[in-house]
């Protein structure tokens, strides 16, 4: 399967290149960066510290889609929306691990999914997707006298907060309780007059160091506490999941899919 990488020179882009080169059944179709990038023309193999590969970083994303069976995108929301348009035009599968997506970006993915297989997930790791299912089950089983708090920590360079994974966990907990996250989300407390509102799902955000991603869902009840935790030791787990998703799209009908679909959890 020919797999292209947009945002190839970023931290995730380099890990994705390495994953494609190391997985049987995958062929690197190319990688792109925006026009004016200082890495344009650099060999993709040398970019990740491997042997020269023969393909260099370009800036023509349209050409990358035409050369690929699937394109993997861990860029930023507006770029992802543009890539979704190319996916819809070409029918090439799109794997989206970009976080911070808002309604208009999801609408762009929905339009692409009418013509191509699109896999979108706030987190591509197998463990996190199991955690999402467990969070929904526990929230459904425990009563409203258990307060739900979601704590997450990421590296100092992460730009969105709470993380997409934390918000997905909040949505899973809300689904388990039969409510909408938007109606019960508490994303910040500061000062004195901020008592906890019964039924709210709270979020705590920590940034620092080089933490790949830690998430804990806390169910705090009278006399006891249940905690579900996932700790990512390396971003490589996200790259592995994304390439697994790309391979899964081969021969798949157009549609908007999740990692739960890829892993057979739904």
Cα Rg, the chain, nearest whole Å:
19
Model confidence, pTM: 0.81
Residue 154 appears among annotated catalytic residues = yes
| Catalytic position from the list 154, 157, 175, 230 | 154
Mean predicted confidence (pLDDT) in 80-87: 98
Predicted pLDDT at 131: 95
- Strands of 213-221's sheet, edge to edge? 185-186, 201-207, 147-154, 213-221, 224-232
Helix 126-141 vs helix 164-177: angle between axes, to the nearest 10 degrees?
30
pLDDT digits (tens, 9 = 90+) for 159-202: 889 998 999 999 999 999 999 999 999 998 888 777 888 999 99
Mean predicted confidence (pLDDT) in 134-148: 95
Mean predicted confidence (pLDDT) in 142-147: 93
Q: Which two tokens stand for residue 230?
A: 């996932």
Spatial CA neighbour of 151 closest among 232, 225, 215? 215
Q: What is the mean pLDDT of the chain?
A: 94
Which of the 8 DSSP states describes residue 201? E
| Catalytic position from the list 66, 155, 158, 175 | 158
Mean predicted confidence (pLDDT) in 59-66: 97
pLDDT higher than threshold 80 for residue 108: yes
Predicted pLDDT at 32: 98
Q: Which two tokens stand for residue 132?
A: 């999402």
Residue 158 appears among annotated catalytic residues = yes
Q: Given pLDDT bands bounded at 50, 70 and 90, which one contains residue 203?
A: very high
Domains along the sequence of the chain with CATH? 2-120+235-262 (3.40.50.720), 126-232 (3.30.360.10)
Mean predicted confidence (pLDDT) in 6-14: 95
Predicted pLDDT at 265: 80
Q: Among 40-44, 76-80, 194-198, name the one with the lowest average pLDDT.
A: 194-198
């Amino acid at each position: 399967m020919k797999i292209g990488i947009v945002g190839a020179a970023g931290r995730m882009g380099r890990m994705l290149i390495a994953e494609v080169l190391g997985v049987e059944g995958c062929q690197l179709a190319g990688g792109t960066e925006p026009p004016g990038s200082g890495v344009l023309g650099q060999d993709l193999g040398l970019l990740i510290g491997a042997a020269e590969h023969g393909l260099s970083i370009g800036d023509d994303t349209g050409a990358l889609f035409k050369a690929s069976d699937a394109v993997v995108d861990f860029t930023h929301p507006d770029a992802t929306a543009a890539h979704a348009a190319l996916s819809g035009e070409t029918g090439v599968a799109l794997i989206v691990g970009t976080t911070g997506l808002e309604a208009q970006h999801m609408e762009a993915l929905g339009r692409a999914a009418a013509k191509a297989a699109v896999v979108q997930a706030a987190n591509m790791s197998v463990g996190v997707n199991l955690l999402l299912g467990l969070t929904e089950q526990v929230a459904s089983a425990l009563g409203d006298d258990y307060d739900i708090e979601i704590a997450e920590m990421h590296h100092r360079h992460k730009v969105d907060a709470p993380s997409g994974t934390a918000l997905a966990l909040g949505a899973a907990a809300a689904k388990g309780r039969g409510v909408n996250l938007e109606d019960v989300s508490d994303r910040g407390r500061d000062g004195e007059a901020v008592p906890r509102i019964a039924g709210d799902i709270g979020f705590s955000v920590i940034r620092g160091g080089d933490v790949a991603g830690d998430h804990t869902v806390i169910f705090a009840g009278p006399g006891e506490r249940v905690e579900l935790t996932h700790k990512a030791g390396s971003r490589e787990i996200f790259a592995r999941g994304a390439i697994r998703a790309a391979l899964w799209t081969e021969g798949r009908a157009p549609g908007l899919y999740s990692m739960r679909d890829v892993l057979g959890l739904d």
